[in-house]
Amino acid sequence: MTIYCTANATVTRGLLSPQQPPISPSSERDRKDELLQQPLEFDGAVLRHQPNIPTQFVWPDDEKPTPEAPELDVPVINLGGFLSGDPVAAMEASELVGKACEKHGFFLVVNHGVDRRLIADAHSYMDLFFNMPLQGKQSAQRKPGEHTGYASSFTGRFSSKLPWKETLSFRYSADVQSPNNLVEDYFLTFLGEQFRQLGRVYQEYCEAMNKLSLGIMELLGMSLGVGRTHFRQFFEGNDSIMRLNYYPPCQKPHLTLGTGPHCDPTSLTILHQDQVGGLQVFVEEEWRCISPHSEAFVINIGDTFMALSNGRYKSCLHRAVVNRDSPRKSLAFFLCPQSEKVVRPPVGLVDKDHPRKYPDFTWSSLLEFTQKHYRADRKTLAVFSQWVQEEENK
């Protein structure tokens, strides 16, 4: 039986059929108790039309959306000269990247070399998956403690401050020893032959994101003064995550969030927004928006790279808001190191004026920490570092 979320203040775990005959108060209490024991599910196709939202999706007053967030001033970096091999253009781009990463960790890139048709296909094919009935999407259901698969909000993991979204996440590996068509194989395995073309599109998209991210790593290395190849080599053979985000309309958008405030625990995020918009970044004690730009990718630094830079570059708090009228979609590629690679800053970023800020760790240990022990927020890296040190001292 499929159980939907409802906005009923008493029964929040299921939907009572209006065709049921009247029942006694005691029977109704028993029915409500039974529904409360059912696992909570988020079905956007149902909830998008409801005038109220379940209490689990209502956020505290101090975290509710900002009605009119001002625009964040982020540099728009033209990668055309850098990608064509112009050393002057590369140096100019690296300086702009460095300034943005010291300030808040967000910047936009244009003339990035990714085919427009591929980006358009990656957006349009999302509809084939997210427009399926809930039961169909659940064939790729994410299992507890794992980071890949379909997730309808975080209903299986948390019981409050739930995000108003659905996601599909899958693994991409640039390791030469990994299967060549890892993404395509994922779609075939969990969704079947009819999703082969989706798998091909997202396989190609991930390969384009891998290429772009390694180029950005060159700029980051130049900007930090550790050489153009240092971080590129560190992330060659990366084991990364691709996520499709779908935010259904909400009749009470002022009460909830599409994604709660958090810093990405990964290394680098490459985001492409549709034209609906909803990304907000917390800078100088206020929320500011980054409006959609069809020709640009939004880039931001994650916690893992903040550790690699010894805290020189910032992993910034951000969130997503929803609206009443239109679904919002975005494509997020999270660059991550190989699972057991040790995250440690290069020696050139550690000295008496810049002592080590974070302990050595592996990406697999941070990923496990965020999947099983801690809900990602602005303090993830600090709490994780303390946890690592405590484990080492045992």
Question: Which residues in the chain come in under a pLDDT of 50?
Answer: 1-26, 30-37
CA dihedral sign of residues 209, 238, 330, 63: negative
The values of phi and psi at residue 107, to 5°, are -155, 165
Among residues 13, 142, 288, 328, which one is catalytic?
A: 328
Distance CA 26, CA 217 (A): 63
Domain regions of the chain by residue span: 66-392
Q: Nearest to residue 329, comparing CAs of 69, 49, 124, 68? A: 124
Dig out the tokens for 288 from the structure. Answer: 């500011």
CA–CA distance from 126 to each of 42, 120, 152, 292, 349 (Å)? 18, 10, 15, 18, 41
Instruction: Provide Rg for the chain, Cα atoms.
Output: 22
Residue pair 319/257 in contact by the 8 Å Cβ criterion = yes
Q: What's the whole-model pTM score?
A: 0.89
| Edge-to-edge strands, sheet with 106-110 | 76-78, 106-110, 297-301, 268-273, 328-335, 239-247, 166-173, 149-152
The values of phi and psi at residue 80, to 5°, are -55, -50
pLDDT digits over 207-254, tens only?
A: 999 999 999 999 999 999 999 999 999 999 999 999 999 999 999 999
Q: Is 328 a catalytic residue?
A: yes
Task: Provide the pLDDT for residue 393.
Answer: 83
On the 0-12 / 13-18 / 19+ scale of CB atoms within 10 A, 59 is buried
Task: Provide the pLDDT for residue 36.
Answer: 41
Three-state secondary structure readout of 245-306? EEECCCCCCCCCCCEEEECCCCCEEEEEECCCCCEEEEECCEEEECCCCCCCEEEEECHHHH
172: CB partners within 8 A, 6+ apart: 182, 183, 206, 209, 210, 239, 240, 241, 242, 333
| Per-residue DSSP letter, 171 | E
How would you classify the pairing of strands 297-301 and 318-320? Answer: unpaired
CATH number, span 66-392: 2.60.120.330
Task: Provide the pLDDT for residue 156.
Answer: 63
How would you classify the pairing of strands 259-262 and 318-320? Answer: antiparallel
Q: What interhelical angle do 380-392 and 363-372 show, nearest 10?
A: 110
Residue 253's CB is within 10 A of a number of other CB atoms, namely 20
Give strand ranges (E) for 45-176. Answer: 76-78, 106-110, 149-152, 166-173
